[in-house]
Structure 1
Amino acid sequence: MSDIDRAVVSTIVETASDHFFIVDGDGRVLDVSPGAAAVYGLPREQLVGSTVQELEAQGVLRPSISLEVIRTGRPVQLMQVTGTGRRVIAEAHPVHVDGRLERIVSRSRDLTDLQLLQDEYALLQKRFSEHLKRSGAGAGHEDGQLDEAMGSLEIRSDLMRELALLLKRVAPSDATVLLLGESGVGKSAFAKQLHRWSRRRQGPFIEVNCAAIPENLFESEMFGYQPGAFSGAARQGKAGLLEQAEGGTLFLDEIGELPLPMQTKLLKVIQDGSVLRLGDTRPRRVDFRLVVATNQDLARRVESGGFRLDLYYRLNVIPATIPPLRERREDIPALAEACLERLNQRYGQHKLLHGSVWSELMGSDWPGNVRELENWLERAWLSSPDELIQSPTRGDGAPPAMTSAVTPAIPPSMVAEEGLAAYLARVECEVLAALCQELPSTYAIAERLWISQPSVVRKLKRHGLRIERRAD
């Protein structure tokens, strides 16, 4: 190496905002950047000359990323907790000469301040949400606008309305949205509605299930390819799904299943705003809004090495958790009626739900959430010989067992010229009135109905009900 090259490398190490370690093939630290001392808790002079084996044993490196490279011979990325208690993302690359591991170059980035900012953002978001609940006029106006713009979303619960309001607020921006929640809660439906609310609504909505595309086809499907890029490639080449989302929204479902090599390529697309087709040398600019979804705990996936931490922070800009159906039972009637309407249109008949079905629908836990509810209703629709839909037999798939040992009474029948909303309001009032006489507090009612205590208070006020105070 010439003196100029040495000076260039020294300047990079000395001035980089990341913290560099240069280690030999046996684990001895040859050089570190000056800022590493503050993060790792040892003077630069003490770090240089020590070994990564010693530093890991002392708790300075937890774990040592260089040791992992020595063990595997491959590039590694992981999250470390340093001896000073700071969280860093570290990335290390092997340097081979004639097949022998000679050097390991690692760099780390301190994420502690970023994590504190995210925690502060989450706290501010929570306080803002509580402020909206307390403020009557402004919230009511925005709530009314939400009703008009709900589209195909069937939501009635306070939890879901609050979530919808959040997404409607961020929809005009291009901020990446991370939809979280159990399988079947409706992440795809919310992603589509977010697109309809956005300024990109006239552009395409491209939905990609990351778990459904074979890994050997993923790159060509996502990034596209040039003519002759590989055997069997189309003669005219093909634009990938990233290019097809131009001017619109790209929705990556099951993002936790994205293979690690593709995570690296996706991160580069997000950072550079361009995509490189297979077999091409010219990057192409892409412009889309990114929405991703997963039912996995991505933070745990990062810790286990299955998901890139830098990509996680790129995606986790606007996180939105969709609660399971068992925590928002108020949504079940509207979901069931919308599903029934679709089934009637699909099969060309007009069927109605028998009154006895509602107690099962409202009392079941639905571990598969909205998707399971819709599947159950379709089985019930198909297995009912007449126009009144009964519950399918247990062998055909009855709803999940209720968590309470008490079996609710069959709701009263609808009266003449009574709509569904009025009927449900009447039934809700009757149930609450009975529980006000039976149970001692709003907390007990909330536990019995599997809803929150503030929801009970609001419902009692709406119906003009009070808990009966019984003499001891």
Structure 2
Amino acid sequence: MDEIDRSVLKTIVETANDHFFIVSGDGQILDISPGVEAVYGLSREALLGSNVRELERDGVLRPSISLEVMRTHRPAQLMQVTGTGRRVIAEAHPVFVNGRLERIVSRSRDMTDLQLLQDEYALLQKRFNEHVKRGQSVADDPALDSALEELQVRSHAMREVASLLKRVAPSGASVLMLGESGVGKTAFARQLHRWSERAAGPFVEVNCGAIPENLFESEMFGYQPGAFSGAARQGKAGLLEQAEGGTLFLDEIGELPLLMQTKLLKVIQDGKMTRLGDTRPRRVDFRLVVATNQDLAARVQEGLFRLDLYYRLNVIPVTLPALRDRREDIPGLAEACLVRLNAHYGRQKFLDNHVWSTLMGSDWPGNVRELENWLERAWLSSALDRIEGFESPASPTSAPHTPPTPSAPPPLENETLPAYLARLERELLERGCRTHASTYALAEHLGISQSSVVRKLKRHGLKLR
């Protein structure tokens, strides 16, 4: 490296907002960037004479990300609390020479001030919600009523959500939809798209938990001809490109692999992406809407979700209430579902009056999705046009029914433990495919997420009957 290159690198490090550490393979701090002293509470001289093990022991770094890389030999990201009480997000990468860990390059960003801004924003949002609940913000809106007719929204709580979405739709800002599984996040994301200035563009829906991790990059970013073995001869545009001029809806964003989180963050920041096998970046323009039923803040703390991406996505958080908290929506949802079932199966059936007490009195832990599944089972189980009843929906307060578990078959001769467990998993999935009508029902039966069921079925080459 010549003198000019050294000067360029020195300027980059010294002017960056991040704080850089260069650590030896055995944990000795070799160099740091300016500004580190104020965050970590030690002078440059004291830090340069220290080992990261000592700093973690003394509480200067809680925990040390360099030690994590030394333990795992893999890149890492985590939240730190420094000796001065500052909260920082740290990211570190190993440097290997001939297979030996020689250096660890880490950078950290002080998030304390940003966290204060987030807390202030949360307080303002809380005050706004209280204002709405007093009936001062959600006035009668004929246009809103017309647009929500398809969604069967009658409750005040969901009108609040819809009113907020309608106001933010023209802005183009990223929206984070929160709520339990099955509350209708996808339906409201579509409605947000229809209200936006991008309504004429595409609405591209991606279930982040349903795409195998080894295929995720090619599906999202697309690829050039010959990019990898088995690639289509003409190449393929990825989902990011397909959303050009419209809305990209990433459902189950909490399931996004960490590597893809990094790449998505760069696309959001730069407005550009590059197909696999290509060197030419392409501009992309889409409105990003994401959804999750997970606690993303908790996943950040666990190191499973990038904090910087979390803040990028959390511009306008919108929480959809559970169905048990808006029971006045149940009649409209049930009637609309019945209309669809009658049209699909070509027979006109109706609900007996006494069934309504069951529908209105249930807590519906699976929310709208469970209500629709229950109605379909009841429709199919009824030999008459009058649907008089079916088993009661599960209640979260009642003990779940545990079906008898067949005894596990013994392992085959010389069968390894992974092979044995894979065989048991396949047999269990095969039985479930014969007895359940949807991946959601199978997931509920197995006690795992629907996305996990989809991945496992693909892995074993199975399909629902």
TM over 0.5: yes
TM-superposed CA distance for 1:215, in Å, is: 1.7
Look up the match of 2:394.
400
CA 1:120/1:152 → structure 2, altered by over 3 Å: closer, same or farther? same
Counterpart-to-counterpart distance in 2, 1:219 and 1:14: 33
**Structure 2 residue 346 is matched with structure 1 residue 348:** yes
Contact 1:363 1:402 in 2 (8 A): no
TM-superposed CA distance for 1:55, in Å, is: 0.6
Cα displacement string for residues 257-289 of structure 1 (whole angstroms, at most 9, x for unaligned residues): 112222221111111111111111111111111
Q: Secondary structure of the equivalent of 1:292?
A: strand
TM-superposed CA distance for 1:403, in Å, is: 5.4
**Structure 2 residue 143 is matched with structure 1 residue 145:** yes
TM-superposed CA distance for 1:95, in Å, is: 2.4
Contact 2:132 2:160 in 1 (8 A): no
CA 1:119/1:67 → structure 2, altered by over 3 Å: closer, same or farther? same
Q: Secondary structure of the equivalent of 2:348?
A: coil
Counterpart-to-counterpart distance in 2, 1:14 and 1:244: 40
Q: How does 1:434-445 map to 2 (within 5 A)?
A: none
Structure with bigger gyration radius: 1
TM-superposed CA distance for 1:98, in Å, is: 3.1
Contact 1:151 1:193 in 2 (8 A): no
Contact 1:19 1:108 in 2 (8 A): yes
Counterpart-to-counterpart distance in 1, 2:331 and 2:42: 62
Look up the match of 1:97.
97
**Which of 358, 378, 402 is the matching residue for 1:360?**
358
Look up the match of 1:290.
288
Alignment TM-score, normalising by the size of structure 1: 0.80
Look up the match of 1:25.
25
Q: Secondary structure of the equivalent of 1:140?
A: coil
**Structure 2 residue 381 is matched with structure 1 residue 387:** no
Cα displacement string for residues 90-136 of structure 1 (whole angstroms, at most 9, x for unaligned residues): 11122223333222221111111111111111211222233344464
Q: How does 1:94-243 map to 2 (within 5 A)?
A: 94-134=94-134, 136=136, 139-141=138-140, 143-243=141-241
Letter in 2 for 1:124: L
Look up the match of 2:252.
254
Contact 1:77 1:305 in 2 (8 A): yes
Letter in 2 for 1:399: P
Look up the match of 2:416.
none
Letter in 1 for 2:274: L
Letter in 2 for 1:289: R
Q: Secondary structure of the equivalent of 1:78?
A: strand
Counterpart-to-counterpart distance in 2, 1:66 and 1:175: 36
Look up the match of 1:460.
none
Letter in 2 for 1:308: R
Counterpart-to-counterpart distance in 2, 1:203 and 1:119: 35
Letter in 1 for 2:66: S
**Structure 2 residue 272 is matched with structure 1 residue 274:** yes
Contact 1:13 1:32 in 2 (8 A): no
Counterpart-to-counterpart distance in 1, 2:160 and 2:203: 24
Q: Secondary structure of the equivalent of 1:355?
A: coil
Counterpart-to-counterpart distance in 1, 2:295 and 2:144: 30
Look up the match of 2:39.
39
Look up the match of 1:264.
262
TM-superposed CA distance for 1:191, in Å, is: 0.8
Look up the match of 1:65.
65
Counterpart-to-counterpart distance in 2, 1:156 and 1:98: 65
Q: State percent identity of aligned pairs.
A: 77
**Structure 2 residue 238 is matched with structure 1 residue 244:** no
Q: Secondary structure of the equivalent of 1:203?
A: coil
- Segments of structure 2 that go 5 or more residues without pairing to the other structure are 399-465
Contact 1:205 1:250 in 2 (8 A): yes
Alignment TM-score, normalising by the size of structure 2: 0.82
State which drifts further: 163-172 or 31-40: 31-40
Letter in 2 for 1:380: A
Letter in 2 for 1:154: Q
Counterpart-to-counterpart distance in 2, 1:275 and 1:152: 36
Look up the match of 1:409.
none
**How many equivalent residue pairs?**
398
Counterpart-to-counterpart distance in 2, 1:88 and 1:112: 7
Q: Secondary structure of the equivalent of 2:354?
A: helix
Counterpart-to-counterpart distance in 2, 1:401 and 1:296: 21
Counterpart-to-counterpart distance in 2, 1:97 and 1:381: 66
CA 1:224/1:9 → structure 2, altered by over 3 Å: closer, same or farther? closer
Counterpart-to-counterpart distance in 2, 1:41 and 1:315: 32
TM-superposed CA distance for 1:223, in Å, is: 0.9
Contact 2:151 2:187 in 1 (8 A): yes
Cα displacement string for residues 416-437 of structure 1 (whole angstroms, at most 9, x for unaligned residues): xxxxxxxxxxxxxxxxxxxxxx
Counterpart-to-counterpart distance in 2, 1:384 and 1:253: 34
Q: Secondary structure of the equivalent of 2:260?
A: helix
Letter in 2 for 1:233: A
